[in-house]
Structure 1
Amino acid sequence: MTTNNTVPPTSPATRIAILGGGPGGYEAALVAARLGADVTIIERNGFGGSTVLTDVVPSKTLIATAEWMTLGGAAAELGIRINDADGNNTHTISADLKAINARIRALAETQSQDIQHRLQSSNITTINGQGRLVSDHSIAVSMVVDDSGIPQPDQLIEADFILLAVGATPRMLPTAQPDGKRILTWTQLYNLEELPEHLIVVGSGVTGAEFAGAYHALGSQVTLVSSRDRVLPGEDADAANLIEEVFKARGMTVASRSRAQSAHVVTKNGGTYVEVTLSDGTVITGSHVLMAVGSVPNTQGIGLENVGIQLTESGHIVTDKVSRTTARGIYAAGDCTGVFPLASVAAMQGRIAMSHALGDTVRPIKLRSVAANIFTAPEIATVGYSQNDLDRLDMRYTVTTLPLRRNPRAKMMGLREGFIKLFSRTESGTVVGGVVVAPRASELIFPITLAVQHRLTADDVAEAFTVYPSLTGSIAEAARMGHHRVDG
Structure 2
Amino acid sequence: MAYQFERKQRIAVLGGGPGGYEAALAGAQLGAEVTLIERTGVGGSAVLTDVVPSKSLIATAEAATAITEATELGVQFFTRTDDGRPVRPEVAVNLSAVNQRLLRLARSQSEDMKKLLTRSGVRIVQGEGRLEGPNRIVVSTAKGKTGTDFDAVDADTIVVSVGASPRVLESAKPDGERILTWTQLYNLKATPEHLIVVGSGVTGAEFASAYRALGAEVTLISSRDQVLPGEDADAAAVIENVFTRNGMTVLSKSRAASVTRTKDGVVATLSDGRTVEGSHCLMAVGAIPNTAGIGLEEAGVQMTESGHIRVNRVARTSMPMIYAAGDCSDFLPLASVASMQGRTAVYHAMGDAVNPTELRNVTSNIFTQPEIATVGWSQKQIEEGLVRGMIYKLPLSENPRAKMMGIKDGFVKLFASSGSGAVIGGVVVAPKASELILPIAIAIEHRLTVDEVALAFAVYPSLSGSITDAARAMHIVN
Q: Does TM, normalized by the shorter one, top 0.5?
A: yes
Residue 104 of structure 1 aligns to a residue whose secondary structure is: helix
Aligned to 1:93: 91
Aligned to 2:207: 211
- The CA distance in 2 between the partners of 1:433 and 1:421, in whole Å, is 8
Of the structure 1 ranges 467-476 and 299-308, higher mean CA displacement relative to structure 2 is found in 299-308
Per-residue CA shift, 1:268-325, capped at 9, x if unaligned? xxxx110000000111000000000000101101011221211111110001111111
- The CA distance in 2 between the partners of 1:243 and 1:425, in whole Å, is 28
Equivalent position to 2:399, from 382, 395, 407: 407
Aligned to 1:162: 158
Per-residue CA shift, 1:179-201, capped at 9, x if unaligned? 00000000000011111000000
How is 1:77-88 mapped onto 2 (pairs within 5 angstroms)? Answer: 77-86=72-81, 87-88=85-86
Q: Please say if residues 259 and 268 of structure 2, whose CA atoms lie closer than 8 Å, have aligned partners that are also in contact.
A: yes
Q: Please say if residues 3 and 350 of structure 2, whose CA atoms lie closer than 8 Å, have aligned partners that are also in contact.
A: no
Residue 175 of structure 1 aligns to a residue whose secondary structure is: helix
Sequence identity percentage: 57
Per-residue CA shift, 1:12-38, capped at 9, x if unaligned? 100000000001001011111111100
CA deviation after TM superposition for structure 1 residue 152, in Å: 7.8
Quick one: structure 1 residues 26 and 80, their matched pair in 2 at CA, closer, same or farther if it must change by over 3 Å? Answer: same
Equivalent position to 2:476, from 467, 484, 487: 484
| One-letter amino acid of the structure 1 residue matched with residue 62 of structure 2 | E
Quick one: structure 1 residues 309 and 346, their matched pair in 2 at CA, closer, same or farther if it must change by over 3 Å? Answer: same
Equivalent position to 1:61, from 56, 60, 66: 56
1:30 aligns with 2:25: yes
Per-residue CA shift, 1:356-389, capped at 9, x if unaligned? 1000001100111100000000000000011112
Aligned to 1:115: 113
- The CA distance in 1 between the partners of 2:138 and 2:435, in whole Å, is 42
In the alignment, structure 1 segments of 5+ residues that lack a partner are none
| One-letter amino acid of the structure 1 residue matched with residue 372 of structure 2 | I
Moved over 6 A (4+): none
1:193 aligns with 2:185: no
- The CA distance in 2 between the partners of 1:242 and 1:151, in whole Å, is 56
Q: Please say if residues 128 and 145 of structure 1, whose CA atoms lie closer than 8 Å, have aligned partners that are also in contact.
A: no
Aligned to 2:131: 133
| One-letter amino acid of the structure 1 residue matched with residue 210 of structure 2 | A
Residue 260 of structure 2 aligns to a residue whose secondary structure is: strand
Aligned to 1:301: 293
Q: Please say if residues 311 and 330 of structure 2, whose CA atoms lie closer than 8 Å, have aligned partners that are also in contact.
A: no
CA deviation after TM superposition for structure 1 residue 427, in Å: 1.3
- The CA distance in 2 between the partners of 1:73 and 1:96, in whole Å, is 16
Equivalent position to 1:221, from 208, 217, 224: 217
Equivalent position to 2:249, from 247, 253, 259: 253
Residue 336 of structure 1 aligns to a residue whose secondary structure is: coil
Per-residue CA shift, 1:98-130, capped at 9, x if unaligned? 000000111101111111111110000001100
CA deviation after TM superposition for structure 1 residue 163, in Å: 0.5
- The CA distance in 2 between the partners of 1:40 and 1:343, in whole Å, is 21
| One-letter amino acid of the structure 2 residue matched with residue 427 of structure 1 | G
- The CA distance in 1 between the partners of 2:79 and 2:268, in whole Å, is 38
Quick one: structure 1 residues 446 and 144, their matched pair in 2 at CA, closer, same or farther if it must change by over 3 Å? Answer: same
- The CA distance in 2 between the partners of 1:91 and 1:48, in whole Å, is 40
Residue 424 of structure 2 aligns to a residue whose secondary structure is: strand
| One-letter amino acid of the structure 1 residue matched with residue 104 of structure 2 | A
Q: What value does the CA root-mean-square deviation take over the aligned residues?
A: 1.6
In the alignment, structure 2 segments of 5+ residues that lack a partner are none
Aligned to 1:320: 312
- The CA distance in 2 between the partners of 1:303 and 1:476, in whole Å, is 51
1:434 aligns with 2:414: no
Number of aligned residue pairs: 474
TM-score, normalisation: structure 2: 0.97
Q: Please say if residues 297 and 303 of structure 2, whose CA atoms lie closer than 8 Å, have aligned partners that are also in contact.
A: no
Residue 230 of structure 2 aligns to a residue whose secondary structure is: coil
1:281 aligns with 2:277: no
| One-letter amino acid of the structure 2 residue matched with residue 190 of structure 1 | Y
TM-score, normalisation: structure 1: 0.95
